[in-house]
Amino acid sequence: MSYDQIQTACVIRYPYLWAREARRGETEGRKERPVAVGVRMPRPDGDLVLFFPITTQQPETSRFAVEIPAMEKRRAGLDTDLRLWIVFDEFNTDIIGRSFYLEPEPPIGRFSKAFFLPLLREFVARRKSLTEVSRRL
Tell me what the mean pLDDT of segment 107-129 comes to. 95
As a dihedral over the C-alpha atoms of residue 40, residue 41, residue 45, residue 49, rounded to 10 degrees, the angle is -30
- Tell me: pLDDT of 125 over 90: yes
- Tell me: pLDDT of 137 over 80: no
What is the tally of structural domains in the chain?
1
Distance separating the N- and C-terminal Cα atoms of the chain = 23
pTM: 0.94
Radius of gyration of the chain, Cα coordinates, nearest whole angstrom: 14
Q: What is the pLDDT of residue 104?
A: 84
Say if residues 16 and 92 touch (Cβ distance below 8 Å).
yes
Say if residues 52 and 91 touch (Cβ distance below 8 Å).
yes
Taking alpha carbons only, the member of 124, 131, 107 closest to residue 9 is: 107
- Tell me: pLDDT of 38 over 70: yes
Tell me what the mean pLDDT of segment 93-110 comes to. 92
Contacts 24+ apart (CB under 8 A), 103-107: 104/1, 104/2, 104/3, 105/1, 105/12, 105/13, 106/1, 106/5, 107/5, 107/6, 107/10, 107/11, 107/12, 107/37, 107/77
d(CA 31, CA 29): 6
Q: Which domain holds residue 22?
A: 3-134
